[in-house]
Structure 1
Amino acid sequence: MTTADELVPPPGWSYRPLRELCASIQTGPARRTEDKGRTQADGGVPLVLPRDLRGRWIVTEEAAVVPALSWERARTLVKYELAEGDILLSRTGTVGRCALVTGEHAGWLFHPNLVRLRLPEAGQAGAAYLAAYMSATAAQDWIRSRAAGAVIPSLSIRALGELPVLLPPAAEQEAIGATLAALDAKVRAHTEIARVTQVYRRVLADALMNGVLPAEP
């Protein structure tokens, strides 16, 4: 198995195992039977699911279908609350999907099939850079190669902690993270435009086919 010590970084860069860069690597809390059935619309603390990690962003559905835990139950799970700058990673099924937590989902909880990476203040890696690195080809190939399980792939926290992370100097990390985050924002905007256009096309097609709207020659 390749370790950070065996890799040769570019001049001025270095490799560090992921565990050394994080204040904590934490899986989500186990769900109980009484946790099921409640949604964000019912009140309580909403839950990020693995399916919500899309294109390095957290994209949730409408409140009526977002699962939530009661306030009473959530008060016992404070250590699992998300904070801006955390990174979420799927650890089972489609292993390796990741997203950077923004203020929009701060205070939410997360599914047990997700791992939360929390960085220390003034740590060696910036959150935007690390999220970009975790989604890059080399890291994704490394993660998938270490996922165990013939039917449902699964990645252990111990294995994930060994991921070699290539660290440029802080200024370059910031520039790389900002550049890729800006591109991700453009991708998200275009994806939303495509989604809305698809909805518009479907509504328009129904209206035209039913004679509600005349077709202009």
Structure 2
Amino acid sequence: MEKTVVNLSQLRQKGVWNFQPYSQVVTGAMAQLEKSPFPVVKLGTLLLEGTTKRGYSVTGVENVDGIPLLSTRNISAPGINLNHVRYLTPDEHKKLEATQVHTGDVLVSLIMRPGIAAVYESDQPANIDTHLARLRLTNKIDSAYLVFYLNSDVGQALIHSLSTGSVQPMLTITALNDLPVILPSLAEQKQIIAEAQRLTQEAGQLSKAAQERRTEAQKLLGKLFQEAV
């Protein structure tokens, strides 16, 4: 278990009894920011003004003919899924214009797994509930790069340091806007994403090959046991 010694004055300055900002993981992430060859800016400076929204507290229904109401369970690092999703009527969707989701929006979980993000890539309408935030970006940052950064070890460490609550960690919109982001040029962002996708695909292929080998091994053992009998 990690041990961290923190001065009482630091805790008082923070304003909450939260040891996350002083952990070794966060210290390491901050060191990476300081060593970064790229500029480090606050996330809020990369968002289109007035477009950052948190969803409303509404309850959808189990009606597959409606408009999806996305929640934290629909957001994961691999992307957005529609598992166990609830739906709004078209009229409700229109009334909740401020929480409508468009293609290219970045959706961020605010509770349970604060900071986990995904790009909304569908051209179908949708809304978000109160546990998600919708980000619309300026042309300074690629949406796939931002999601990759938020879901990375560095991004998650920094997000956890800004989260509040002990039993149920929560990330506020204000804290999200204050998150430090390493910002390469757009060309370099796209190169990073291309390489990350290549490695992810390669890892998937290796995992599939490993599973096939395990299946072959089990069949071989079964055959040997049968022959022994």
TM category, shorter: 0.7 to 0.9
3-state secondary structure, aligned to 1:103:
coil
The equivalent residue for 1:131 is: 147
- The equivalent position to 1:16 in structure 2, one of 26, 33, 41, is 41
1:120-159 matches, cutoff 5 A: 120=138, 123-159=139-175
1:42-61 matches, cutoff 5 A: 43-61=65-83
Q: Does 1:110 align with 2:128?
A: yes
Paired AA for residue 29 in structure 1: Y
- C-alpha contact 1:40 1:46 (8 A) present in aligned 2: no
Q: Deviation of residue 185 (structure 1)?
A: 5.8
Q: Deviation of residue 71 (structure 1)?
A: 1.1
Q: Which runs of 5+ in 2 are unaligned?
A: 1-13, 15-20, 22-29, 216-225
1:155-166 matches, cutoff 5 A: 155-166=171-182
Q: TM-score, normalised by structure 2?
A: 0.69
1:182-201 matches, cutoff 5 A: 182-184=198-200
3-state secondary structure, aligned to 1:88:
strand
The equivalent residue for 2:104 is: 85
**Greater Cα offset, 65-74 or 175-184:** 175-184
- C-alpha contact 1:146 1:155 (8 A) present in aligned 2: yes
Paired AA for residue 163 in structure 2: A
- C-alpha contact 2:68 2:126 (8 A) present in aligned 1: yes
Cα distance change, pair 184–48 in 1 and its aligned pair in 2 (3 A): farther
Alpha-carbon deviations, 1:95-145, whole Å to 9, x = none?
1221111126x421112101111113xx21111111111111111001112
Alpha-carbon deviations, 1:21-64, whole Å to 9, x = none?
01132111221xxx44x2242x2211112111123301222xxx
- C-alpha contact 1:128 1:181 (8 A) present in aligned 2: no
The equivalent residue for 1:209 is: none
Supply the RMSD in Å over aligned alpha carbons.
Answer: 3.0
In structure 1, C-alpha distance between the alignment counterparts of 2:201 and 2:63, rounded to whole Å? 26
- C-alpha contact 1:28 1:111 (8 A) present in aligned 2: yes
Q: 4+ runs of 1 displaced by more than 6 Å?
A: 186-191
Q: Does 1:39 align with 2:62?
A: yes
Higher alpha-carbon Rg: 2
Q: TM-score, normalised by structure 1?
A: 0.72
Q: Deviation of residue 184 (structure 1)?
A: 4.7
